[in-house]
Amino acid sequence: MSSEYASAQAGEPAEEGGGGAREAAAAGRRAGPVLELVELTRVHGEGAAEVQALRGVDLEVAAGELVAVMGPSGSGKSTLLTLAGGLDMPTSGRVVVEGTDLTTASRKELAALRRRSIGYVFQDYNLIPALTAAENVALPRELDGISSRRARKEALAALEEFGLQQLADRFPDEMSGGQQQRVAIARALVGDRRLVLADEPTGALDSETGDAVLALLRSRCDAGAAGILVTHEPRFAAWADRVVFLRDGSVVDTTLRSAAESLLAGGAAQ
Amino acid sequence: MSIRHGLLALLERGPRYGYQLRTEFESRTGSTWPLNVGQVYTTVARLERDGLVVPAGEDEAGHALYAITEDGRDELRRWFATPVDRTSPPRDELAIKLAMAVGSPGVDVRAVIQSQRSHTIRAMQDYTRLKAQALEEAMTREPGVFDADDIAWQLVLDQMIFQAEAEARWLDHCETRLIRLAPRAAASARPDTAAAPAGESGTDDQAGSGLPQGSARNGGLRGALRRPRR
């Protein structure tokens, strides 16, 4: 890597996340990053078949922050997301979600954390076809053990907050792809969840609809959630506060967006 | 960019004075291409010389007004009806830089690509934030109110995002192609055809960095840039 990278990275102000900390304080939640990946390494296979999917990746995502992860196929993007969500365990390193280390947590703690703190959004929406939008959003809360009446109330509130109330009683096949994905984001963030992990959530959508999905994800992060978005589409990664580039399992570069004041000063648009 | 036709389009809506033209031009394009008032007056003077606009008296405040002529309207109609010429693309510094980087001893092409990709995506992040703001502002207007300036600005931002996206995708494509060609290029580079020693960059990337000279002959970026421009 050229020394230009090093200086570019060192020169970046470490101000991003300040807004997130503010949001967290406003919401009365614990300070510090929602997600912390420390020296994360994942090796698949052994001997000659050994593949280093991730090599010592460090990443923090604060409340209020949306981080995009980009990289060619095989660069480790999906592995990173799987590890961050506790769906797989690293070979070494730590995954800390809301202060709990997933690598040392008991099976029961891990299951609870996956259910209560982490929301997932997938490329193919993964809504349950036999349930309405409201029932889909209520489902994770019911699994959390709250009454179905309360779960439904929370689901309707979440849909309304996301501007999706008109979809509440529709079944997935009565919704467009973009609508389904927005409902899936509502489901990922219902209740107290504030970490959302999105794997190519715009994969099957056109650019305008994809933008609408990203605008929703962005607004949820602005409201205090923390998000990781894995995508190979620059246009969608551009909604993030930070874009992390992976190559061969390592972070090779990170870009921050500019400070708001400088945006219209003529530097951004030429 | 055609300031000339832009100003004609504004004048078609009615007589305007110089400063007003500048303000309206900028609110359409979100100050993406800032105009100074001198440029506006020079352009209006040329339009007048060409018979496309005429002086139209003064407003109450004493500003000198200009109005579009019938010839001006014809010119404007022609402009809208004619596609913007793409057959002689402007020289693109990035394309030239990558074309030169391939096979240059001591240049890590993938590092060149990555540094540009970071820069381009950062610009996209900035445009996207401006777009999010623009969409939010548009939401605050009363439903059904069609504000042409709002929409024009969103379209201009989208254009910048799409262009940057095209560049980022092209960079991804270049990188993938270089990775794929690297082993073949290394195998086919013979001492008598390779002008420079292979793989000088000295990074520990297993593929793609410091391509040998032979790779340029295997296609790579060169084919894309071979289009004759005479």
Going by pLDDT thresholds of 50, 70 and 90, the confidence category of residue A5 is very low
In this structure, the answer to whether residues B204 and B97 fall within a common structural domain is: yes
CA distance A136 to chain B (A): 28
CA distance A9 to chain B (A): 11
In this structure, the answer to whether residues B67 and B97 fall within a common structural domain is: no
Compute the distance between CA of residue A90 and CA of residue B145 in angstroms, rounded to an integer: 53
In this structure, the answer to whether residues B100 and B139 fall within a common structural domain is: yes
* A268 contacts B127? CB cut-off 8 A: yes
**Which residue type occupies A58?**
D
CA distance B124 to chain A (A): 5
Asked if the C-beta of A235 comes within 8 angstroms of chain B's C-beta atoms, the answer is yes
Asked if the C-beta of B159 comes within 8 angstroms of chain A's C-beta atoms, the answer is no
- State the complex-level ipTM: 0.72
The CB-side HSE value for A183 (13 A sphere, CA atoms) comes to 33
Domain range for residue B219? 93-223
| Contacts of residue B9, Cβ cutoff 8 Å, sequence gap at least 6 | B76
Instruction: Write the CA distances from A182 to A121, A137, A159, A235, B138, integer angstroms.
Output: 9, 11, 9, 18, 21
Asked if the C-beta of A153 comes within 8 angstroms of chain B's C-beta atoms, the answer is no
Q: Would you state the pLDDT for residue B135?
A: 84
Asked if the C-beta of B137 comes within 8 angstroms of chain A's C-beta atoms, the answer is no
Of B81, B110, B140, which residue sits at a domain end?
A: B81
Nearest to B161 among A5, A235, A263 (CB): A235
pLDDT tens by residue, B182-218: 766 666 554 444 444 444 443 444 443 344 444 434 4
* A269 contacts B127? CB cut-off 8 A: yes
Q: In Å, how far from its chain's centre is CA A9?
A: 23
Domain membership flag for residue B28: yes
CB atoms within 10 A of CB A251: 21
Inter-chain CB pairs, A–B, below 8 Å? 95
pLDDT tens by residue, A194-240: 899 999 998 878 888 888 889 989 988 998 999 999 998 999 999 99
* B175 contacts A238? CB cut-off 8 A: no
**CA-nearest residue of chain A to B173?**
A72
Going by pLDDT thresholds of 50, 70 and 90, the confidence category of residue B158 is very high
Task: Spell out which residues of chain B touch residue A245, defining contact as CB-CB under 8 Å.
Answer: 114, 117-118
Q: Would you state the pLDDT for residue B136?
A: 83
Domains, chain A, with CATH or none: 3-117+193-258 (3.40.50.300), 130-191 (no CATH)
Reported for B45-50, long-range contacts at CB under 8 A and 24+ positions apart, including other chains, are: B46/B4, B47/B4, B47/B7, B47/B8, B47/B72
pLDDT of residue A11 exceeding 60: no
- 3-state secondary structure (DSSP) of residue A61: strand
Dihedral sign of CA atoms A177, A179, A181, A184 in order = negative
Compute the distance between CA of residue A214 and CA of residue A181 in angstroms, rounded to an integer: 10
CA angle A179, A180, A181 (to 5 degrees): 90
Element (H, E) at B160: helix B148-188
* A255 contacts B125? CB cut-off 8 A: yes
Q: Would you state the pLDDT for residue B218?
A: 41
Element (H, E) at A252: strand A250-256
Instruction: Write the CA distances from A55 to A102, B44, B190, B204, integer angstroms.
Output: 18, 61, 35, 14
Is residue A69 within 8 A of residue A234, CB to CB? The reply is no
Among B1, B115, B121, most A C-beta atoms within 10 A, so best to mutate, is B121
Domain membership flag for residue B126: yes
CA distance A50 to chain B (A): 16
pLDDT tens by residue, A66-90: 999 998 888 999 999 999 999 999 9
The count of domains in chain B is: 2
CA distance A114 to chain B (A): 30
Domain membership flag for residue B173: yes
In this structure, the answer to whether residues B75 and B117 fall within a common structural domain is: no
Asked if the C-beta of A55 comes within 8 angstroms of chain B's C-beta atoms, the answer is no
Going by pLDDT thresholds of 50, 70 and 90, the confidence category of residue A263 is low
Six token digits for residue B152: 């024009």
CATH number of the CATH domain containing B42: 1.10.10.10
